[in-house]
Amino acid sequence: MKIILNNTDLNKALENIKLLGFVPTMGFLHNGHVSLIKKSKKICKKTIVSIFINPTQFNNKNDFKKYPKNLNNDLKILKKNKVDFVYIPKVKDIYNFKRKVKIKINSNDQILCAKFRKNHFEGVLDVMDRFVKIIKPIKIFMGEKDFQQIYLVKKFIEQKYKSKIISCKTIRDEENLPLSSRNFLLSKTDISNARNVSQELIKLKRQFKIKKIPKNFLLNKKKNLEKEFKIKIDYLELRKLKNLYNSKKILNSRFFIAYHINHVRLIDNF
Ligand code: AMP
C-alpha–C-alpha distance, residues 136 and 186, integer Å: 36
Rounded CA separation 120/25 (Å): 15
Contacts of 151 (CB under 8 A, 6+ apart): 244
Per-residue pLDDT for 229 more than 90?
yes
What is the chain's alpha carbon radius of gyration, rounded to the nearest angstrom?
Answer: 19
pLDDT, tens only, 110-122:
999 999 999 999 9
pLDDT > 90: percent of the chain? 98
Q: What are the tens digits of pLDDT across the range 141-178? A: 999 999 999 999 999 999 999 999 999 999 999 999 99
C-alpha span between 68 and 129 (Å, rounded): 24
Q: How far is the CA of 157 from the centre of ligand 1 (A)?
A: 18
Whole-number Cα distances in Å, 179 to 71, 111, 135, 143, 173: 18, 24, 27, 11, 6
Does 5 score more than 90 pLDDT?
yes
Residues 240-249 have pLDDT tens digits of: 999 999 999 9
Q: Cα-flanking dihedrals φ and ψ of residue 138, to 5°? A: -85, -30
- Quote the pLDDT of residue 84: 98
DSSP for 156-194, written as a single string: HHHTTSS-EEEEEPPPB-TTSPBP-GGGGGS-HHHHHHH
In Å, how far are 162, 194, 199, 203 from 236, measured between CA atoms?
35, 14, 14, 14
Beta bridge partners, 6, equal none
Instruction: Band the pLDDT of 213: cuts 50, 70, 90.
Output: very high
Find the 132 Cα to ligand 1 centroid distance in Å.
18
- For residue 80, CA distances in Å to 1, 74, 169 come to 10, 10, 21
**Residue 128 Cβ contacting ligand 1 at under 6 Å:** no
Residues 14 and 28: their CA atoms lie apart, in Å, by 25
Instruction: State which of 145, 169, 180 you would mutate to test the pocket of ligand 1, scoring each by most atoms of that ligand within 8 A of its C-beta.
Output: 145
Q: What is the pLDDT of residue 78?
A: 98
Can you tell me whether residue 213 is helix, strand or coil?
A: coil
Virtual torsion, Cα 239, 240, 243, 244, nearest 10 deg: 10
Neighbours of 156 (CB within 10 A): 20
Residue 183 has pLDDT above 90, yes or no: yes
SS3 of 78, please? helix
* Predicted pLDDT at 210: 85
pLDDT given for residue 145 in this prediction: 98
Cβ–ligand 1 distance for 178 under 6 Å, the answer: yes
Amino acid letter at 132?
V
- Average pLDDT rounded to a whole number, residues 218-223: 97
The string of pLDDT tens digits covering residues 13-34 is: 999 999 999 999 999 999 999 9
- Give the active site residues: 33
Positive or negative, the Cα torsion across 181, 126, 105, 155? negative
